[in-house]
Copies of this chain bind each other. A is one copy, B any other.
Amino acid sequence: MREAQDTWLPQPDLEEVDLGTVLQAVADPVRLQIVRLLDAAGEASCTSLDVPVKRSTVSHHLKILREGGVVATRLVGNARLSRLRRDDLEDRFPGLLAPILLARPPARPRTD
């Protein structure tokens, strides 16, 4: 269960994480969906994420989330498993992540 020995993709230091960047990261519908999927699954690879965009786009979003300090990615064999930096975010912006994950959809669903 020790993942500290694994190789991790570069990510910003905790105190360098900017609130606006985090908000902008999770503001995107696809990225918000990714964040929630990661929250539910704990860890997920690029292909296992069920989002309606191409793989290259998923990788792009994961990169933005990682550079924004929202997710961390470790290299396990052939896969890159990404997870939420829940504890880090909780320490940096206490109480921010929970309401985002628990938020209910608006009363008027997408009727387009």
Contacts and interface: CB of A to CB of B under 8 A. Distances in A.
Nearest to A90: B99
In the complex this chain forms, how many copies of it are found? 2
A1 to B, nearest CB: 30
Contacts of A16: 106-108
Interface in A65-112: 93-96, 98-100, 103, 105-108
Interface residues of A, number: 26
Nearest to A14: B107
A19 B23 CA distance: 11
A29 to B, nearest CB: 6
A6 interface: no
* CB-based closest 8 A-B pairs: A15-B107, A24-B27, A23-B27, A96-B99, A19-B103, A95-B99, A18-B106, A16-B108
